[in-house]
Amino acid sequence: MQGFEFNTVAKIVCGAGSALQLAHQCQRLGVSRPLLVTDPGLVSIGLVQPAIEALGASGISVVLFDQVREDPPEATVLAAAELGRVRGVDGVIAIGGGSSMDVAKVVAVLLGGEQPLAELYGVGQVSGCRLPLILVPTTAGTGSEVTPVAVITTGETTKAGVSSPVLLPDVAVLDAELTLGLPPAVTAMTGVDAMVHAIEAYTSRHQKNPVSDNLARQALVLLAANIRTAVHEGSNREAREAMLLGACMAGQAFANAPVAAVHALAYPLGGHYHIPHGLSNSLVLPAVLEFNAEAASAQYAQLSELIVPGEAAASEEDRTAALIQALRQLIDDLALPATLASAGVAESDLEMLAEDAMLQQRLLVNNPREVAYDDALAIYRAAY
């Protein structure tokens, strides 16, 4: 066995109603005036208010920032940080999807140290401390509550990441009650996103290790077994909890064994077409797996055994084909667009998208098979 490192969040709290116990976590961390980062949609449907009231009842004074949008720009991060600075907050809580959690991570660093935002981008560039940080996901997808990465929109079509162990929160709170009202399409897209995290972590060329492997495998089992129920029976608490835990475990896996070509080719779709991240991953997933098959068939065959019954005795190639077909069928069952064309992508843009995908070298280096420009273009054409 090769030596490896594995880093993850210090504490995970999982259980129905655990979001109403945030005061205990705040008190444990010495937080009395947290900045609560969320989005206007969650506030409008009343999802955040019970947590705010429970915090208030315990003497915790909440400063609310509810202006996070999907693909949050730098201006949103800076506005949240300024509000926290003016109001003298001593901690940060996020209740929301990946965007809210990403904003909260960066804001906690900005408020806890002296570095400007521009200096944080890249790997290991955070040199200061952060404020105490609690992350509460409301979707079962990004796994951001247990990853040391935040992605911020820096231009019209560009994004940049902040990657540092400092961004790992003090506490991740998994409360499936917060996911019960998630619409079917969002449940589907975020669920496939989590499955991609597990698959790419398991086949990552760098930093893959026995701990990340076991997390990825268990995550895929939970997600594959429950995603259809969660989408079609949204009030099923057991399925929702399994999805939330699976997404968290997949997040722990890819936080240590990084994602690769699926994400690299998905990012330009989000940047140019504003396609939701989970759907962007779903659109290119089968084509990327087919491209990778010659280099990763042994690992794909192992994953196939987890979700395709009766295939264990088949050859690696057949089990890999069965995995890809099972994922295509899943995408169809979830009523997600199956091609780039059906998602509104122009065929004339494929070359531009391939050029942009090649800029994602930090992801492409993790892919089990090397990806050149011509390969990226061929994958987009196969997905079209």
What global pTM score does this model have?
0.95
Helix axes 277-307, 184-202, angle to 10 degrees: 60
Contact (Cβ atoms closer than 8 angstroms) between residue 63 and residue 35: yes
Domain ranges of the chain: 12-179, 184-383
The architecture of the domain spanning 12-179 is 3-Layer(aba) Sandwich (3.40)
Task: Tell the CATH topology of 184-383.
Answer: Dehydroquinate synthase-like, alpha domain (1.20.1090)
12-179 matches 184-383 in fold = no
Contact (Cβ atoms closer than 8 angstroms) between residue 273 and residue 344: yes
Per-residue model confidence as pLDDT tens for the chain (384 residues): 789 999 999 999 999 999 999 999 999 999 999 999 999 999 999 999 999 999 999 999 999 999 999 889 999 999 999 999 999 999 999 999 999 999 999 999 999 999 999 999 998 999 989 999 999 999 999 999 999 999 999 988 778 889 999 999 999 999 999 999 899 999 999 999 999 999 999 999 989 999 999 999 999 999 999 999 999 999 999 999 999 999 999 999 999 999 999 999 999 999 899 899 999 999 999 999 999 999 999 999 999 999 997 766 689 999 999 999 999 999 999 999 999 999 999 999 999 999 999 999 989 999 999 999 999 999 999 999
Contact (Cβ atoms closer than 8 angstroms) between residue 136 and residue 19: yes
The DSSP bridge partners found for residue 36 are 64, 93
Phi, psi of 306 (to 5 degrees): -80, -25
pLDDT, position 347: 97
Sign of the four-CA dihedral 172, 69, 164, 356: positive
